[in-house]
Amino acid sequence: MKTSEREFKVIGTRPVRHDGIDKVTGRALYGADHSLPGMLHGRVLRSPHAHARILSIDTSRAQAMPGVHAVITGDDLPSVPDRTEALGEGTTNANDLSNNLLAKGKVLYDGHALAAVAATSAHLAEEALDKIEVQYEVLPPVMDVRAAVAEGAPLLHETLRTAGVPESKPSNIAKVIEFARGDLDEGFAAASVIVEREFTTAMVHQGYIEPHNALAKVDADGQITLWCSTQGSFDIRSLCAKVLQIPLSRLKVIPAEIGGGFGGKTTVYLEPLAIRMSQISGRPVHMVMSRNEVLRATGPTSGSVIRLKMGANAHGKIVAADALLDYEAGAFPGSPVLMGAVVIFAPYALENFRIVGRDIVVNRPRTAAYRAPGGTNAAFASETLLDELAEKLAIDPIEIRRRNATCEGVQAPWGPRMQKVGYEELLDAAQSHPHYSAELPPPNGPLVYGRGFAGGGWGNAGLQSSAILSVNNDGTATLVTGSPDIGGSRTSCAMIAAEELGLEAADVRPSVADTDTIGYTDVTGGSRVTMATGLAVFEAAQDVKRQLRERAARMWECPEEGIVFEDGDAIRPNGERLSLAAIAGKAGRTGGPVIGRATVNANRANGPSFAGFLVDVEVDTETGKVGILRGTVFQDAGRAIHPAYVEGQMQGGSVQGIGWGLGEEYIYSNEGKLENASLLDYRIPTALDVPLIEAVIIECPNPAHPLGIRGVGEASIVPPPAAIANAVAAATGKRLPVLPLSPPRVHAALQTGD
């Protein structure tokens, strides 16, 4: 039966989440909540300079302090290969990772770690940091991509050459990627209207509530146990093992509950340091970052400069598009420019285009993933320029998107042909929604009003997952997976198991296991967990049902052929039934426990998701302040397993996109010091800044997945900044190609006309 024809009993309902009571009562243990007897407290010394040579580090005074049991610098980490490998989410250069953990030779950003101390109290560890003496030769910093690619720019890495460019000289450009198809000259020659702009977006942080943490214990036999808040316990195991040069079998990672991540907790900062100091001291070491450290020294996402030119014919069909994306990688290569290049034209069918992306190092923290990494920057450029084309051609903004919308069979800019996707259905829903036709308030003194729309997409990830589904003697079940739960995936996966076994969601008890207990499972990221780990759960349930049919045949003393398992019962061809509970109660007599297992590589089951954001804004022309009056987010979820969780993901991504669009940015001094390294100064939206965002779920089942699931966690952050910029343009007549649209920036544009 096709998933589009199937009727579901559990999927699509809204049961209470299994871990909800633990979280609201405080029983759930987050990383900083863990402790062990004899535990030491670790702290990190960080550079006050953005770019400087390390002439010397003297730790002798700190090591001599009573109560200090370990002091380490970069020299205490082993040498690792200087090559890019498949580690963690995507690829990682272990040498760069090690140098980011503790600087060697040079510090490359304000907050770069230099040394770490473990002592009997946190206060003593802080005091020991003050005893460490560092001599620097301060160098000029390179703070943005324009400066980094300028002739004669200071080099962050004297040996870095542009990947894929033969005989290139040392450079701050780490990599260049390109997608192209068709004939640009021919396309632009056919255009009735051509628009071209340069767009600038600021570096922003994920803004998770819980800071990074790690608790490491090294036993006398060298076995290591690590507790931490992470999006991927197996990835953390791999990264720690690589930079510390230890076998994977000697390291067990236990994922704590996680207070947000959004991509920022897919790599390591403290974990190898805690392990190394536990090895030296012989005692457990616990480390927790301050908020200042989180902002200064963990991976935000890239700022960018995007130059974009688009042409359309008189009917609004895009006939040519040319994009250059320069993304900040931070101190080490690895910006999400590739995904920016994928996303920039993803929602549209194009015949003539060129997309060039450059990964550029600057004296800022090494970037990490942030919810659809690279996509929001790219869509800000393409969706605002598309809106400008619509304006010049006098075409409705949603209509021009419909005329260019990608659909089944369209070849994506990055190569493959699309399977069935729901972008056209999404645009129909947006255009017919009451929000789109509602009247805006008339101008009121300095207050003017505008409405904007933008679309965007995200490819989502497949990757590997494992699941174990065990049937209890009373007919209930337990489910074990390896995916840390950020957005309710325990419950969504339990619902999939319940649907397949004919149970209620509450009858399946889900848990997230450590790296010794479950098979390899990739990171909770890329919007993959309900889709990919859910696929493993689905396959484990099929394994269970196969065994249940076999057990029923034994109990009936008949051939297994013809027996089916539906709605919680084994059914013979003559209609006779045995319930799951009846079969489970006899499991000990018919072969032993019924346990289903599955491992999957879900890349072929993956399906992209598209989102759209419709927003009404109020602009105070006297102050430049932009307020959000109303927001509606539309997204193709494929199949909404738990609609409330899907809505929450859509709303959360939208609010983060609003923050990116209106106020969030890293602000550095000329010397490269981060000047807003606290949540008092780094402006994250609160409930006072945004209304309740209405979420409209579009269900266009993913044909590659047995349940039609698409990932939903990331696409919703892609369109909001562009939608806000389009709304501000509608209200003021001024198009601002710079994020964020902060009051000073908007006010200056309104005053100068620039």
The pLDDT of 57-83, averaged and rounded, is: 97
Give tens-digit pLDDT for 439-464.
999 999 999 999 999 999 999 999 99
Nearest to 433 by CA among 616, 602, 286: 616
Assess whether pLDDT exceeds 60 at residue 417.
Answer: yes
Q: Does domain 20-28+462-604 have CATH number 3.30.365.10?
A: yes
Give tens-digit pLDDT for 501-554.
999 999 999 999 999 999 999 999 999 999 999 999 999 999 999 999 999 999
- The CATH topology of domain 34-139+209-260+265-297 is Aldehyde Oxidoreductase; domain 3 (3.90.1170)
Mean pLDDT is lowest, of 89-98, 362-371, 389-398, 577-586, for 89-98
Assess whether pLDDT exceeds 90 at residue 474.
Answer: yes
Equal CATH topology for 20-28+462-604 and 34-139+209-260+265-297: no
Alpha-carbon distance of 141 to 52, in angstroms, equals 8
Query: Which residue matches tokens 């430049």?
Result: 624
The pLDDT of 7-27, averaged and rounded, is: 95
Sign of CA dihedral 244, 249, 250, 254: positive
Q: What rounded mean pLDDT belongs to the chain? A: 96
Alpha-carbon distance of 536 to 174, in angstroms, equals 37
Give tens-digit pLDDT for 142-165.
999 999 999 999 999 999 999 878
Banded pLDDT at 485 (limits 50, 70, 90): very high
Nearest to 145 by CA among 318, 16, 330: 330
| Amino acid type, 438 | A
Whole-number pLDDT of residue 6:
86
Does the predicted TM-score (pTM) go above 0.95?
Answer: yes
Assess whether pLDDT exceeds 70 at residue 88.
Answer: no
Exposure string over 152-174, b if 16+ CB within 10 A, otherwise e: eeebbbeebebeeeeeeeebbbb
The domain segmentation of the chain, as residue ranges, is 20-28+462-604, 34-139+209-260+265-297, 304-460+607-752
Assess whether pLDDT exceeds 50 at residue 1.
Answer: no
Please name the residue ranges forming H helices in 394-523: 397-404, 423-432, 434-437, 489-501
Mean pLDDT is lowest, of 5-14, 161-170, 630-639, for 161-170
Assess whether pLDDT exceeds 90 at residue 90.
Answer: no
Whole-number pLDDT of residue 2:
54
Whole-number pLDDT of residue 167:
77
Q: Does domain 304-460+607-752 have CATH number 3.30.365.10?
A: yes
Whole-number pLDDT of residue 744:
96
Alpha-carbon distance of 477 to 595, in angstroms, equals 9
| Amino acid type, 87 | L
Banded pLDDT at 753 (limits 50, 70, 90): low
- CA separation, residue 2 to residues 501, 546, 699, 729 (Å): 18, 20, 14, 45
Give tens-digit pLDDT for 596-629.
999 999 999 999 999 999 999 999 999 999 999 9
439 CB-contact burial (10 Å; exposed 0-12 / middle 13-18 / buried 19+): exposed
